Amino acid sequence: MAALLAAALCLAACDSGGGREATAGGAGTLPGPVPAGLALRPVPPGTPSAPVFTGTLTDGTALAAADLWARRPVVLLFFSSWCTTCAQRQGALSELARGYRDRVVFVGVVTGDEPDELDAYLRAHKSEFPVVVDGDGTISRSYAVREPGAVALVAKGGALLRGWPGGLDASTLDIRIRELLLG
């Protein structure tokens, strides 16, 4: 009887997360507080505003991009799980996102993916940033993204600093973040 009770308690403890792992790209990947003393470059005069959007994260949580860039810069990564170039770059981009955690928020925007394929992709590439599901492509079109792999830098406050239709590798993106965003 004692062994049965111990087994039941062990199973209950193991299932405290509701029986499921957290959804990759969901609300658990949203940033914490802005670090004290975050130094940012001033936005050049006449810089256009980034297209404002709202969307749904992979776990169903609503996200308003303007809420994120009101407090810190944002890097938008437009990708799809079936994009080979995206897959080649994703691991290094995920690592870069972890390195900037809370100072600069990386947000994935994904179009044309099935939920299971997207979840497997995010887990395989250890992606720990929020991912907005752009089911009908509205967000991608507002940024003139025609195919996955594009990157956009948005300054704190919402100015669209720069975009790269073909995307960037992690080391080049790191240089651009330091040049355009961080003081």
Q: Taking Cα atoms as reference points, which of 94, 104, 71, 98 lies closest to residue 181? A: 104
Find the CATH number of the domain harbouring 115.
3.40.30.10
Mean pLDDT for the stretch of residues 25-31: 93
For 84-96, what is the mean pLDDT? Answer: 95
Residue 1 belongs to a domain: no
Full domain range(s) for residue 106 = 46-180
The pLDDT, as a whole number, for residue 9 is 33
Q: Give the mean pLDDT of the chain.
A: 88
Tens digits of residue pLDDT in 144-175: 999 999 999 999 999 999 999 999 999 999 99
The predicted model scores a pTM of 0.87
Quote the pLDDT of residue 22. Answer: 74
Per the structure, the count of domains in the chain is 1
Task: Judge contact between 124 and 113, C-beta under 8 A.
Answer: no
